Chains A and B, each alone.
Chain A
Amino acid sequence: TQLLEQSPQFLSIQEGENLTVYCNSSSVFSSLQWYRQEPGEGPVLLVTVVTGGEVKKLKRLTFQFGDARKDSSLHITAAQPGDTGLYLCAGAQADSWGKLQFGAGTQVVVTP
């Protein structure tokens, strides 16, 4: 069973539309990461959130960490074809030596 439930599994939208990806758990995380991965490459770190209620913005991407540090969301405004990829959330728990629990991933496809 996946410790982190990520939804939706697949998202196909037109260029210019907005999208939100969710990452939920019943467990508390000391930090949560979002990665984007393209085919045949390793994941690239987008952001790390550590404080409950924290909101971080990276250009058109907005990341939110839930108040209880159990869930997170990624919102993309005015999506572009370059945003296409597999988005992965990953949480670290205290005393886990940095081990990450990964969500199943959300495949995002943005068509022109």
Chain B
Amino acid sequence: GAVVSQHPSRVICKSGTSVKIECRSLDFQATTMFWYRQFPKQSLMLMATSNEGSKATYEQGVEKDKFLINHASLTLSTLTVTSAHPEDSSFYICSARGLVPGTQYFGPGTRLLVL
């Protein structure tokens, strides 16, 4: 399967600071990437769809000004959590859309802890 990386894998920050998470497709070009959030013992919740060269499409209830997404190239999408607060602490996972319809390849996730 395709390889997707995320950086950093873990981050701890103070309340009010901004955190950037990178998602890279290592061995293929991903025109579409997705960002998810996952709480303990729960399933994945889609936050937004990131399309290369255009604005991201956010799911209902997700604040676009708080979760900034940039997909500047075919191999890189970034999620910036602005003015992070403790309630933003979560596991953030990105994925890249594969060639087979419906297939997505997931990154290893980023654990964010806001103090």
Q: Which residues of A contact B (CB under 8 A)?
A: 29-33, 35, 40-45, 48, 50, 88, 90-92, 97-100, 102-105, 107
Is B101 positioned at the interface, with any CB of A under 8 Å from its CB? Answer: yes
Q: Which residues of A contact B6 (CB under 8 A)?
A: 42
What is the minimal beta-carbon distance from B26 to any residue of chain A, in angstroms?
A: 14
Contact B107 A92 (CB under 8 A): no
Is B79 positioned at the interface, with any CB of A under 8 Å from its CB? Answer: no
Contact B41 A41 (CB under 8 A): no
What is the minimal beta-carbon distance from A39 to any residue of chain B, in angstroms?
A: 9
Interface centre among B6, B43, B95, B97 (most CB of A within 10 A): B43
Is B60 positioned at the interface, with any CB of A under 8 Å from its CB? Answer: no
A40-B109, A42-B108, A98-B32 in contact; A92/B102 too (CB < 8 A)? Answer: yes
Q: Which residues of A contact B19 (CB under 8 A)?
A: none
Mask for B80-110, Cβ within 8 A of A = 1, else 0?
0000000000010101010011111111110
- The A/B interface has a contact count, at CB < 8 Å, of 72
What is the minimal beta-carbon distance from B77 to any residue of chain A, in angstroms?
A: 14
B: interface residue count bin: 20 to 34
A-B contact pairs, 23 of them (CB 8 A): A30-B102, A31-B100, A31-B102, A33-B103, A40-B91, A40-B111, A41-B108, A42-B6, A43-B44, A45-B103, A45-B104, A45-B105, A48-B103, A50-B102, A88-B44, A91-B102, A98-B101, A98-B104, A100-B46, A100-B102, A100-B104, A102-B44, A104-B43
A40-B109, A41-B109, A45-B1 in contact; A98/B102 too (CB < 8 A)? Answer: yes
Q: Which residues of A contact B106 (CB under 8 A)?
A: 35, 42-45
A92 to B91: give the CA distance in the assembly, Å. 23
Contact B101 A30 (CB under 8 A): yes
Q: Which residues of B contact A103 (CB under 8 A)?
A: 43
Contact A105 B103 (CB under 8 A): no
What is the minimal beta-carbon distance from A31 to any residue of chain B, in angstroms?
A: 3
A33 to B104: give the CA distance in the assembly, Å. 9
